[in-house]
Structure 1
Amino acid sequence: MTSSSPCGPPGPPPPHSSPSPRPRPPSRPRSPAALLRDRRVLGPALALLLAAAVTAALPLAGDPAGEPTDGRGRAAHGAGAGERERQTRYPWEGAGGFTTATGDSPVRGVAGPVWRYRVAVESDIGQDVAAFAATVDEVLADPRGWTASEELRVQRVAEAADADFTVYLATPGTSERMCAEGGLSTEGYTSCRLPGQVIINLARWLEAVPDYGAPLEVYRAYVVNHEVGHEFGEVHQACPAPGEPAPVMQQQTYGLDGCAANAWPYVDGSRYEGEVVPGI
């Protein structure tokens, strides 16, 4: 992976993966008319048994393999009922259009060139663009963030022509497609960064990752700082030692490798780093 690599584990297969082919049944189910004729010949009790057997043999509606679907004829993500229930919190895929946050923020930071960014949320996915923009603004303006270097400043702008990069919040399916345009495979699970594009996966924004060991707000700050860090030229780093804070450029979505969750590039006022992980 490079600095534009997706930052997270492959995770479970996306819900729009194709189901396995349905085996050809040995014989075609009898029609209702045939069952009625059987009822006259075989009697009511045996006919009811035959009807029940036919019903049990039929697959679940909506999917040719008999698997639960997401309502569009595609196999539901994960086999467990809990995973399907969690999916109802957000759509797997939106229309692909985006709504941009309006207005410009103040310039944050004390010195250095100003990096200007836009914030955009995929339309009609139940997420408020102003709220997402406020969180991104808060993270990037935090004194523990990248501006603590005193080598750069940040400002949110509304116009694409004024922006150096855009922070997107996109559904898993849309983020997968966007990242793939830059040659990255996220399997609908991870966030990624491409030149000029920081693409945050909606599922990770709402759910973080299993066993992260910190509140959702910490993971959100981590994923913004990590992906924006790539835009600033940062590369991946390793956990320094078990029990130590994870560097923000560690791929914490993969796992913490014994480190503790940490969302910030500056810890106790100093730049906090781990050993560079070559090649990713």
Structure 2
Amino acid sequence: MRRRRRRAVLLLVLLLAVGGTAVGVTELVHRPADQPSSTAGDTRLANGLGGAGVRVEPSGYPTEGSGGFAAADGDSPVRGSGGPLRRYRVAVEQGTGQDVDDFAATVDGVLGDPRSWIASGQLRLQRVAVAAAADFTIYLASPATSERMCAEGGLTTERYTSCRLPGQVIVNLARWMEAVPNYGAPLETYRTYVINHEVGHELGEGHQACPRPGAPAPVMQQQTYGLDGCVANAWPYVDGARYEGAPVDGV
């Protein structure tokens, strides 16, 4: 009798232990998607180690993030020697594994460079943290989110290109991570180009054509779709002068 009771108790304990483990796994798998997560949690999500339904590219970035954005804190110095002041805000989609401060530092470095738009002497730029103080926001968004955002303004990007809507510069994470095939320049050059190009639209610039084969591509050329014989160029000012191509009608 005692042996039977002892076996029964051991069996009951074993069943409870197994059952408790199974419940723990179920809770982990079915954790609500809107539950707040830490930075480490966002990184695991982007690397495909968590978050059911998140599609991750071979290079390691997700095709779709949370849809929510985190903005960079603090204000940058005013860059530029004269002209009206345009204030911009920088935000990164959460769940993409990208650091908002790193992205903001890159944007600040590009827009504050003497080869960028401030070289005209007729424009000053400053990054701000408060949305109400910003004239426009520069977003880094996953391909799916950027497509939805651009579509709200009637633009079709097929999850491939970046875009600009009034008050919104939307940089596609896929292009930020991979640039484009046959660009012929480092990723850093493409990143500089896409910032200057889309911000150029926000400043009123239209698309331009390649001047001639072998020449630098104007920054307002649609370099994402090809260079048309030009070579990659990320800056609106080259050798201290505004560098442009012929306007492209209708775009």
1:102 is matched with which residue?
73
Per-residue CA deviation, residues 22-60 of structure 1 (Å, 9 max, x unaligned), is xxxxxxxxxxxxxxxxxxxxxxxxxxxxxxxxxxxxxxx
Whether 2:151 is the aligned partner of 1:180: answer yes
| TM-fit CA distance, 1:95 | 1.3
* Alpha-carbon distance between aligned partners in 1 of 2:209 and 2:177, rounded to the nearest angstrom: 25
Task: Give the alignment's TM-score, normalised by structure 1.
Answer: 0.70
Counterpart residue type for residue 262 of structure 1: N
2:229 is matched with which residue?
258
1:81 is matched with which residue?
none
1:202 is matched with which residue?
173
Whether 2:152 is the aligned partner of 1:152: answer no
| TM-fit CA distance, 1:85 | 2.4
1:85 is matched with which residue?
58
Judging by fraction of residues, say which structure has more helix. 2
* Alpha-carbon distance between aligned partners in 1 of 2:130 and 2:143, rounded to the nearest angstrom: 25
* Alpha-carbon distance between aligned partners in 1 of 2:166 and 2:104, rounded to the nearest angstrom: 20
Structure 1: which 5+ runs fail to align? 1-70, 78-83
Whether 2:85 is the aligned partner of 1:114: answer yes
Higher relative contact order (CA 8 A, sep 6+): 1
Whether 2:107 is the aligned partner of 1:132: answer no
* Alpha-carbon distance between aligned partners in 1 of 2:245 and 2:158, rounded to the nearest angstrom: 27
Counterpart residue type for residue 130 of structure 2: E
1:142 is matched with which residue?
113
Whether 2:200 is the aligned partner of 1:229: answer yes
2:211 is matched with which residue?
240
Please give the secondary structure, in 1, of the residue aligned with 2:207.
coil
* Alpha-carbon distance between aligned partners in 1 of 2:65 and 2:208, rounded to the nearest angstrom: 33
Please give the secondary structure, in 2, of the residue aligned with 1:90.
coil
Structure 2: which 5+ runs fail to align? 1-51
| TM-fit CA distance, 1:125 | 1.2
1:275 is matched with which residue?
246
Per-residue CA deviation, residues 205-226 of structure 1 (Å, 9 max, x unaligned), is 0000000000000000000000
* Alpha-carbon distance between aligned partners in 2 of 1:211 and 1:101, rounded to the nearest angstrom: 32
Per-residue CA deviation, residues 39-96 of structure 1 (Å, 9 max, x unaligned), is xxxxxxxxxxxxxxxxxxxxxxxxxxxxxxxx74x9x89xxxxxx523xx11111110
* Alpha-carbon distance between aligned partners in 1 of 2:82 and 2:212, rounded to the nearest angstrom: 33
Task: Give the alignment's TM-score, normalised by structure 2.
Answer: 0.78
Counterpart residue type for residue 209 of structure 1: V
1:55 is matched with which residue?
none
- Percent identity over paired residues: 74
1:22 is matched with which residue?
none
* Alpha-carbon distance between aligned partners in 1 of 2:63 and 2:117, rounded to the nearest angstrom: 32
Per-residue CA deviation, residues 134-188 of structure 1 (Å, 9 max, x unaligned), is 0000000000000000010000000011000000000000000000000101010
Root mean square deviation, CA, Å: 1.5
| TM-fit CA distance, 1:124 | 2.0
* Alpha-carbon distance between aligned partners in 1 of 2:138 and 2:72, rounded to the nearest angstrom: 10
Alignment equivalent of 1:193, drawn from 164, 184, 188: 164
* Alpha-carbon distance between aligned partners in 1 of 2:109 and 2:58, rounded to the nearest angstrom: 31
Please give the secondary structure, in 1, of the residue aligned with 2:86.
strand
